[in-house]
Structure 1
Amino acid sequence: MNAQKTNIEFTKYELDNGLKVILHQNRSTPIVAVSIMYEVGGKDSFEGRTGFAHFFEHLLFEGSENITERGQFAKYVEDAGGVLNANTSQDRTYYYEILPSNQLELGLWLESERLLHAKVTQEGVDTQRDVVKEERRQRMDNQPYGSLLYELFKHGFTKHPYKDPNIGYMKDLESAEEKDYKLFYERYYVPNNAILSIAGDIDINETKKLVEKYFSTIPRGAEPPRVTIVEPPLAGEVRDTVYDSKAPLPALVMGYRTPERNHPDYYAISLMNQVLSSGQSSRLNKVLVDEKQVAVQAGTFPSFTQAPGLAIAFAIVKPGTDLKMVEGLFDTEVAKLQNQLISEREFQKLKNNVEVDAISGYGSMSGIAESLADYEMYQGDANLINTETERFNAVTREDIQRVAKKYYNSNNRVVLYWMPGEASK
């Protein structure tokens, strides 16, 4: 079939100090998204310290040598009529401001301050430590199913730092010192470890001049250390029961070890997951929710990590439901994918969904800026924002069957029975 292509034009170049710059002009609304992505995330713990990338995300809103008043960083943006935020994944940290386009220079100055002049003080460390500890309690410790991803990765990895929680262990948050943060900043917050991505109502040549003004004099740093640990294959199926006093319903939770985001099999695995759980007519929804009525929700999604990770499958089930039975129903649906090709009709629906996602997936300037940076960082090719549909469309029904057989077997998975309540003593 002929693939619908997005047509997001952009300019990409690199400063002498190694900073990658991506510029996309869109004059439809007078706003601009200024963003910067650093190739450092939860996996990049060091010297027994976990959660540093996320903690650092918080610290870098504290201020800089030229933004001395606490809270002033956000106030600059808000007073200009903009919004700002940041997020940290296992592999990268991302900061952005969405501003009226006449405030582009403000966003560039703020991000250059963050990169060159961030001020890490013990007062800031102490303040943000309490904030992050409370965030951990709210999102993970006291949230129903809040530790689900952590438990899956802890059971699925023994060597690679994906086994540790993105937000870090409480003991590491408690014991980290000012010198640890300064070392982390020096290692990872260097221009040759960053992608500056700007999208919106901009003039390309004027923006280049401003980027040069605020970023070209920042010195290149040493190449940051990279995680080189290769996780060994699972020695067999890993099974456990997790008790969660906050969970209202039991759940079946599974993780299948699958390749990194940049692996060619990602596209077939992604489409296979859509067959299982995308939309009301998906196979798991029809069987578990509609026909058998044993689950209130079921889903699967592929791994999206820089190194081989876990593709996740789950079903939140009704009280009193036998999880072993639900697991059997799931395995039956996977076996169908392994033993027979999906129908041409189902396959065409998949491809139609790919086309729709390609056309509708980039409706905001912030979404475009982040996607351009993501594609460049994870896959080394920002233009995949326009061409990735070709990779999806190259997947055959036989490819879907092949990855189902290769990755979705019991020796390559973690199975957790998630139970409400406390474990018996």
Structure 2
Amino acid sequence: MKLLTFWGCAFLAVFTAQAQQVEFTEFDLDNGLHVILHQDNSAPVVTTGVMYHVGAKDEAPGRTGFAHFFEHLLFEGTENIARGEWFNIVAANGGSNNANTTQDRTYYYETFPSNSLELGLWMESERMLHPVINEIGVETQNEVVKEEKRSRIDNAPYGKIIYATGINKYVFDKHPYANSVIGSMEDLDAAELQEFKDFFKKYYAPNNAVLVVAGDIDVAKTKAMVKNYFGAIPSGEEVARVDIKETPISETITATEYDDNIQIPAKLYVYRTPSMKERDAYILEMISSILTDGKSSRMYKKMVDQDKSALQVLAFTRPQEDYGTYIMGALPLGDTELSTLATAMDEEINKLKNELISEREYQKLQNKFENNFVSSNSSIQGVANSLARYYMLYEDINLINKEIEIYRSITREEIKEAANKYLNKNQRLELDYLPTPESK
């Protein structure tokens, strides 16, 4: 049986390495735009994506929410795409598109049938070169963003946890990660039109972006089209990157947040962790899986199945370019006190600190991350996103092929060491997340 297990694991490792190998070509235009091309002719689709190195952390004090606002604003239209027509053009050509913003970057993409590759390149070049930023667009998207905030945060159960608006402000004192990605509606209301134009000019230039084209393409022809559509776009001034160091947390932070939309409270522990590029960030991701990934995970088995003290348990990392956060918590079942959940979570942390995980648990963990690796780039959209992200935030595109090697190399001893290094009481926020009292 052990021999079969060995050969099964060996086969999975070889199959994974072969199946996930992503070939790519990269080059720079004279204006500083970095371009990555990935040819995969297995299906007649192509994704064109542009990632800009601007996120919520780049916003000026008193003007939060700009990066996320531009995620919406840059669909308003361009000098050659009439206002309100962006999505119609995409749909009429059998495509789909979207955009998303984090603390560190903003990403726009279209996926079309491959015979519409040139259309995708033209539209993204239009977004970069000819956006129309005017009062009517700003006012329209201001209302869109306000509604998004109401639906996803203000009126959504546990919205402050999901979008970190009730967390980051406690664990970051100096770094702009303290602010939420969606920002302040008051800041957006107070901004003048020229401020939006200045923000675009500063951050949405080719030398602050990476263009990825992935899918059913011919590399030589695509390279020529990229140069044709993007080569003449002028570069912007060099962007000064945020470089703010936080003082280590040395005493427990205690806080209480209230939510009008919940009836069941939550107990949360939040730790500040290192950059997503650090090896420890990968180890902490593995610790999350050990604690709460699936019904066989430690916290689920102990708190949900065995003790029946928790309705739900959670542990996950929020990896970011400068610092990350590690969040773990639980929702009580019935009349269970939050202090009981806290004790149970601390017991699981102490087990990680004092005992190596078993060989069986370690192998199960490795299998999970092998499977995650296989599925992470199973679509052309996923590959395009990964190529852009690894280039911009990790400065190593080939992580798309070799990141699994990092997980494979993590030892049981390192898992124990990371728990001792980061998951300490004097280095965390202890948050009681409660239903709003009726009298409040």
**TM-score bin (small chain):** over 0.9
Structure 2 residue corresponding to 1:237, chosen from 252, 255, 270: 252
Look up the equivalent residue of 2:278 and give its one-letter code. Answer: H
Given that 1:250 and 1:417 are in contact with CA atoms closer than 8 Å, whether structure 2 keeps it comes out as yes
TM-score normalized by the length of structure 1: 0.97
> 2:49 is matched with which residue?
35
Structure 1 residue corresponding to 2:28, chosen from 4, 9, 14: 14
TM-score normalized by the length of structure 2: 0.94
Deviations 1:103-123 (A, max 9, x none): 000000000011111111011
Number of residue-to-residue matches in the alignment:
424
Structure 1 residue corresponding to 2:390, chosen from 375, 384, 401: 375
The alignment status of 1:359 with 2:374, answered yes or no, reads: yes
The alignment status of 1:107 with 2:120, answered yes or no, reads: yes
Deviations 1:29-55 (A, max 9, x none): 111111110111111111520010000
Look up the equivalent residue of 2:336 and give its one-letter code. Answer: T
> 1:334 is matched with which residue?
349
- Comparing 16-25 with 49-58, greater Cα deviation is found at 16-25
Deviations 1:127-171 (A, max 9, x none): 111111111111111111111211110111121111111101121
- Where structure 2 has 5 or more consecutive residues not aligned to the other structure, the ranges are 1-8
| Distance change in 2, residues 1:423/1:172 (3 Å) | farther
> 2:5 is matched with which residue?
none
Q: Aligned equivalents of 2:240 and 2:129: distance in 1?
A: 19
Look up the equivalent residue of 1:97 and give its one-letter code. Answer: E
Q: Aligned equivalents of 1:41 and 1:276: distance in 2?
A: 30
Q: Percent identity?
A: 48
> 2:204 is matched with which residue?
189
1:27 match: secondary structure: coil
Deviations 1:271-302 (A, max 9, x none): 11111111210101111111111222212112
RMSD value over aligned CA atoms? Answer: 1.3
Look up the equivalent residue of 1:122 and give its one-letter code. Answer: E
Q: Aligned equivalents of 1:26 and 1:126: distance in 2?
A: 41
- Comparing 115-124 with 1-10, greater Cα deviation is found at 1-10
> 1:91 is matched with which residue?
104
Look up the equivalent residue of 1:15 and give its one-letter code. Answer: L
2:318 match: secondary structure: coil
- Where structure 1 has 5 or more consecutive residues not aligned to the other structure, the ranges are none
The alignment status of 1:130 with 2:143, answered yes or no, reads: yes
Alignment of 1:7-406 (within 5 A): 7-67=21-81, 69-148=82-161, 149-406=164-421
2:165 match: secondary structure: helix
Q: Aligned equivalents of 1:240 and 1:94: distance in 2?
A: 34
Shift of 1:319: 3.7
Given that 1:250 and 1:319 are in contact with CA atoms closer than 8 Å, whether structure 2 keeps it comes out as no
Look up the equivalent residue of 1:102 and give its one-letter code. Answer: N
Q: Aligned equivalents of 1:258 and 1:392: distance in 2?
A: 18
> 1:415 is matched with which residue?
430
| Distance change in 2, residues 1:320/1:421 (3 Å) | farther
